Amino acid sequence: MSSYAVARWREEGRLAVWLHVPIQQSGFAAAAASQGFDFHHAEQGSSTLTLWLGEGPSRLPGYATHQLGVAGAVLDESRGRVLVVQDRNKSKQSNEQELFGTGPALSAAPESWAPTFNQRRDTAVREVFEETGIKSEFKSILSIRQQHKHPGAFGKSDMYIVCRLQPSSFSISFCQQECLRCEWMDLQELARTKDATPITSNVAKLLLYGYREGFDKIDLTMREFPAVYTGRFYKLYHRELPESYRNIT
């Protein structure tokens, strides 16, 4: 590990470097530490070190037992349009449109990752505003994607929650460091376009169905109940029940 390598990575515009050190070569960890690397995690037979090269404090995620990400499907029901972005960090590989997201599946600030659905809901609203300038309100959970042994989660499980958000402002002022483009797009057009990621395409069709037939047919709403532990609560997400069933005693 040399200062030359670190200087070259900076010139290449890299934000971070991950270094995997087999236990038989653990002596390299000391050399890496002299160049600013720090331990991230260790498992049987190897350790992983990281070096943050971007501006400000490191935004690299901590080691995962599982990974939880979120996407915000911001739907303007009055005009039948949805907020989409083109990720600047993916622009060299793809021109695909995406729903605004945070977490491993899309470009995001890792410090915004959170361990609970409630925090994820708040994170979706906050990140949409910070990255696009659009204010919104959480309405429901639309879907959850699950993938085991995810390479981007250190081989752990990954869950990705897609939330339906309702905008309260409509003028876009997007973060140019994260997004190449950001725009309102007709929902029906997004559902039909081939220039969309698979998850965006499927969620767009789900939104279109709810938009036409009623969101009560697709939404997962949330109710809060007292837990068995004093002063604690849990949240239950499910399809909304008819009132006649909600009031059964």
Domain ranges of the chain: 3-52, 66-221
The yes-or-no verdict on residue 168 having pLDDT over 80 is yes
In the chain, what percentage of residues exceed pLDDT 90? 33
End-to-end CA distance of the chain: 68
Range 3-52 classified under CATH 3.40.630.30: yes
Structure tokens that stand for 98 in this block? 């995406």
Q: Are the C-beta atoms of residues 73 and 137 closer than 8 Å to each other? A: no
- Kindly report the CATH class assigned to 66-221: alpha beta
The yes-or-no verdict on residue 237 having pLDDT over 90 is no
pLDDT of residue 207: 93
CA separation, residue 4 to residues 11, 31, 82, 100 (Å): 11, 13, 46, 37
The tens digit of pLDDT for each residue in 119-164 reads 567 888 888 898 889 999 999 888 888 888 888 777 888 888 888 9
Stretch 197-205: mean pLDDT: 85
pLDDT bucket at 98, cuts 50 / 70 / 90? low
> Among the residues of 115-186, which ranges form H helices?
117-132
The yes-or-no verdict on residue 46 having pLDDT over 70 is yes
Of the candidates 97, 103, 71, 67, the residue with the CA atom closest to the CA atom of residue 84: 97
Stretch 208-236: mean pLDDT: 88
Stretch 168-181: mean pLDDT: 88
Q: Give φ, ψ of 68 to 5 degrees.
A: -130, 115
Please report how many Cα atoms fall inside a 13 Å half-sphere around the Cα of residue 171, on the Cβ side.
0
Stretch 232-247: mean pLDDT: 79
The yes-or-no verdict on residue 199 having pLDDT over 70 is yes
- The model scores a pTM over 0.75: no
pLDDT of residue 53: 93
CA separation, residue 133 to residues 5, 41, 50, 119, 174 (Å): 38, 36, 32, 20, 6
pLDDT of residue 104: 29
Q: Give φ, ψ of 181 to 5 degrees.
A: -145, 155
Stretch 160-188: mean pLDDT: 89
pLDDT of residue 89: 66
**Using CA atoms, how far apart are residues 220 and 238, in angstroms rounded to an integer?**
5
* 233-238 and 81-87 strand pairing: unpaired
In the chain, what percentage of residues exceed pLDDT 70? 86
pLDDT of residue 133: 92
Q: Are the C-beta atoms of residues 2 and 15 closer than 8 Å to each other? A: no
